[in-house]
Structure 1
Amino acid sequence: MTREDAALLSRVESLLADPAHARHPLRQALEALYHHHLEEKARLERLVSISDGYQRLAVENQQSARQGYDKIRRRQEKLSRISDGYQQLMREHNLALARDSTHDSLTGLPNRRMVDEHLKQEAQRATRHAAPYTLAILDIDHFKRINDRHGHEIGDRVLVAIARVMQGELREYDLCARWGGEEFLLLLAETRLEEARTILTRLLRRLAAVSIEVGDATLSITASAGLSEHRAGEDPLDDTLQRADRALLQAKRSGRNRCCITPTRG
C-alpha cells in the first residue's frame, strides 16, 4: 500500500467514526465501500500469501531437483572415473599379460615363444629375399657352480648382468632371448657366419669384463657360444639351431670362454 492509499483510508475511517456524519446520506455507501475495500485487501493479501508460498515451494522444489541432479551427476562422474580407472587397469593388465607371454620375467629378454615367431618371419624373409642370418647359442660357463657356491640370488644377478651387456652390445635389428636356464639365443639378422663370429667374439670379451660383487669378493663371468648360419630350405629350429648347439658343445670341450662355428656347408 502506498502512502497516499494509507492516508485516504485513514481519512475515510475518520469520517466514518465522526458522529457528525452519522446521518449523512452517503455514510452508508461510504461504509459499505470501505468494508468492501477491506475484504478485497484481505483477499488480495491471501492471494499474495498463497502466491508467495507457491513460489517458495517452487524454489524449494527447484533447489531440491537441482540438488538431486547434482547428486546424480556427481555419482555418474564418480562411476565414470571408476569405470575409466578399471578400463585403464584392464588395459595395463592385458599389456602386462601380453608382455609376460613373450618375455622372460627375470631378464626382460624375449622368451622362446617370441623367438619362435621371429624365426618363422626370418626364415620366410630369407626364402623370399635370399637374406642370410646366423643363430648363436650362448651359455654361461660353470653356472651351476655359481649357484651352488653363492646361491640362486647371485645366479639371478649374473643372468641379469649378462642380459644387459648383450642388449647394449648387439645391433637394434638383432634379437637376443633367454632360451632357458643359463642359455641365451641370438638371432643375427642379415649376418653371414664370419661376421657373426666377430660379433660374438667381441661380446664374449665384453662379458668377461663383467664383475659381480659377492660380499668382499668379486665374481667374474665367462661364456661360450656356438654359431650356425641358416641354410636355404632348412628348418631354423630342427636344423640351424641344432648345428649351433653342436658348435656350443665344441666350444665347451675346447676350454670354454670362446665361440665355435659350424661350416656353412657340410
Structure 2
Amino acid sequence: MKLIAFIVILFVQFLCVSPALAKPLDKVNVQLSWLHQFQFAGFYAALSQGFYKNEGLDVTLLEGGPGVVCNEALLHTKVNYCNATGSVVQRRVAGEKIVVLASIIQYSPVVLLTRKDSGLEVVKDLIGKRVETMSAGLPLVSIEAMFQSQGIELSQLDNREDTVGIDLLLNKTVDALYGFTSNEPYQLALAGVEFNAIRPLDYDIDFYGDVIITSERELELYKGRAKRFRSATIQGWRYALKNKVAMVDHIIEHYSQNKTKQALLAEATVIETLMLPNLIQIGHNNIERWEATAATLASINTIDKDYSLDGFIYQENDVESTYRSLLWIGGGFILLCWLIGILFLNNRRLAAEVQVQIVGKKNLQEAQDAAIIQAYTDELSGMGNRRSCYEYGAQAVEHTKAHKEPLSIIMIDIDHFKKINDEYGHAVGDEVICTIARVIVGRVRETDIQGRVGGEEFAVILPDTDIKGACSLAEEIRQALESTSVVVDDVTINITASFGVAAFKSDRDDICSIVKRSDVALYRAKAAGRNIVKTN
C-alpha cells in the first residue's frame, strides 16, 4: 500500500505541474493602469515570489500613466491582461469582448479634490469650473456618472485631462483635481493644503476599484492560462498585504522612487481598507454588484437600458479549463487501468481512508469559514462585534490621519435594559437588541463601521464625518428608536437609548481614545435623564 500511495502521489504531482514543464514559460504582458505604486503590489509580489513562474508564466508588467487606456484593441495586439477599474463594464456593453477575471479593490478610491479655500464642496459647485474629467480624451466614467446622477452634463464644465501629481491644484490651474484617496490626499496634506474630497461613492456611484480584465480571444486561444494568471496574482496580493513594509521596499528598489516610503505605506493602508480582505475573498466577482453597476450606468443613460452582461464575468468552469480537466480525466483513467487489480483487493480500506480525509477536510474548511465569520460578527444581532469595530475602526483612524479627513464615533446604550430583562425575561431582551440593531443598520452608510460592543451597548464609527454630522445621525437614530416598540403578550415595551458622540481631534488620537471620549459623553447623556444625545 505504501508503494501504491507513493506512485499515486508522484502521478498527481506530475498532473499538477505538467502544463508548466511540458513547454517553456508562456510570455505574458500585463498593462497597469497607472504609474508604479502599491496599487499594483500583488503583481509585483507574484513576480518576486515566483508565483507566476510556478504557474508556467513569464510576466512583463507595463507601467501605465495619463492617457493609458486598456480596451479590446490593446488586448488583441500588445497585452494579454490589464489592470482596470469597475467602469470597464461600459466597454463590454458597448460591444468589446472584454472579460473581468477578478475584482481586487472592492471600493473605488476615485475622488475629485478641491482646495478648501475655493468653497467648492459638492458637485453642483463645479458647474463652469475647470475639472479633471477626461482620460485620453474620453470621460472618466465614474466621474461622469456622479455628475449625471445630479442632473449635470459634462458640457456644463470646463473639462480637463487627468494629470500626475497635485501641482495643478496647488497653483490653481484646475479647480478640481482627479485622484485616488490612496494618493493625492496624502500629498496635499504633506504640502499643508486643506482640501475637500468629492467622491462618487457619496453620490451612490458604487463601482469596483481595481479589477483584472482580459479578452475572450485570450480565453479561447490560450486555454487554462487565464486561470493560472488569476491564481498567481491573487496569491501575490495575499503575500503583499501580509508583507507591506517589505513590498514597499521592493517597489522603491525595483520599480519607482517617485513616492517616499512613508507615502507608499500610507497608500498601502488605504488600499487594504478598500480591499476588505478579512471580509471578502480577494478576486471575488459579485455578479449582483456588477449588475448594479450596469444598472446605475443605464439609469443615467451612459449605456443602453437593454444591456447584457452575458460572458462578461469569468467563470472557472468555462471552456478554458477543459484542457486541465481532460488531462485529469485521461490520466486518471490510465492510472485506474494500471492499478485496478491491486485496488480491487484493497478498495474497502482505501475507500474508508479517503472518505475520512474528505470529510475531515470538508469539516475543517467549514469550521474555518465559520470561525472567520464568527470572529467578526455578533451572533445575536448580526451586526459587527467588538473586535470588528476596534480592528476596522483602527484602520479608519489611520486613514483619517493620513488624509486629514474628519471621523466621529457614536456610542449607544439602551435605557433601562436591566429592567426589561428582569421584568420580561432575556428572550424579550434579545428581541429588543435585535430591534435596535435593525434600526441602526438601516440608517448608516455602507462605508460606516457598526457593531454591538457590549451587552446593551452599540458603536457606530463614521469615516469622513464631522461631529455635526454624527450628532445629526445620532438624533435621527434616537428619534427612530423612540417611535419603536416591542410587543410581548399584548404588552408594549417602549424603547429609548442614550447617545454619546466624539470626534477625531489630532494625530495623537487612536480608536481607544475616541471611544473613551464617546463613553464620557454617553455617561453625561444618562446623567441628564437618558434618551438624549451628548457630545464630548
Is the contact made by 2:412 and 2:457 (CA closer than 8 Å) also made in structure 1?
yes
Q: Deviations over 1:118-164 (max 9, x none)?
A: 12211211111112110111010111111111111211111111112
Aligned to 2:194: none
| Residue 386 (structure 2) pairs with residue 112 (structure 1) | yes
Equivalent position amino acid for 2:472 in 1: T
Aligned to 2:374: 100
* C-alpha deviation, 1:100, in angstroms: 2.4
| Residue 399 (structure 2) pairs with residue 88 (structure 1) | no
Is the contact made by 1:211 and 1:220 (CA closer than 8 Å) also made in structure 2?
yes
| Residue 502 (structure 2) pairs with residue 207 (structure 1) | no
Equivalent position amino acid for 2:517 in 1: R
Is the contact made by 2:450 and 2:459 (CA closer than 8 Å) also made in structure 1?
yes
Aligned to 1:136: 410
Q: Deviations over 1:190-225 (max 9, x none)?
A: 111111111111111222232212112111111111
The answer to which structure, 1 or 2, has the higher relative contact order (CA under 8 A, 6+ apart) is 1
* C-alpha deviation, 1:69, in angstroms: 4.4
Of 443, 467, 471, the match for 1:169: 443
Residues 73 and 120 (structure 1), Cα distance of their counterparts in 2 relative to 1, 3 Å cut: same
Aligned to 1:239: 513
| Gapped regions of structure 1 (runs ≥ 5) | 1-64
Q: Deviations over 1:50-78 (max 9, x none)?
A: xxxxxxxxxxxxxxx96874575576556
Mapped to 2, the partners of 1:119 and 1:184 lie a distance apart of: 13
Is the contact made by 2:393 and 2:449 (CA closer than 8 Å) also made in structure 1?
no
Aligned to 2:535: 261
Is the contact made by 1:234 and 1:240 (CA closer than 8 Å) also made in structure 2?
no
Residue identity over aligned pairs, in percent, reads 33
Q: What SS does structure 2 have at the residue aligned with 1:234?
A: coil
Mapped to 1, the partners of 2:475 and 2:433 lie a distance apart of: 19
Q: What SS does structure 2 have at the residue aligned with 1:104?
A: coil
Mapped to 2, the partners of 1:139 and 1:181 lie a distance apart of: 9
Equivalent position amino acid for 2:508 in 1: E
Residues 78 and 169 (structure 1), Cα distance of their counterparts in 2 relative to 1, 3 Å cut: farther
Mapped to 1, the partners of 2:436 and 2:373 lie a distance apart of: 21
Of 99, 121, 125, the match for 2:395: 121
Mapped to 2, the partners of 1:75 and 1:209 lie a distance apart of: 66
* C-alpha deviation, 1:254, in angstroms: 2.4
Residues 159-198 of structure 1: pairs in structure 2 closer than 5 A: 159-198=433-472
Equivalent position amino acid for 1:220 in 2: N
Mapped to 1, the partners of 2:447 and 2:373 lie a distance apart of: 19
Of 422, 428, 434, the match for 1:148: 422
Structure with the greater alpha carbon radius of gyration:
1
Residues 157 and 77 (structure 1), Cα distance of their counterparts in 2 relative to 1, 3 Å cut: same
Aligned to 1:24: none
* C-alpha deviation, 1:233, in angstroms: 1.5
Residues 112 and 66 (structure 1), Cα distance of their counterparts in 2 relative to 1, 3 Å cut: closer
* C-alpha deviation, 1:174, in angstroms: 0.8
Moved more, 248-257 or 144-153: 248-257
TM-score of the two chains, using structure 2 as the length reference: 0.35
Q: What SS does structure 2 have at the residue aligned with 1:257?
A: coil
Aligned to 1:61: none
Is the contact made by 1:251 and 1:259 (CA closer than 8 Å) also made in structure 2?
yes
Higher helix residue share: 1
Is the contact made by 2:400 and 2:463 (CA closer than 8 Å) also made in structure 1?
no
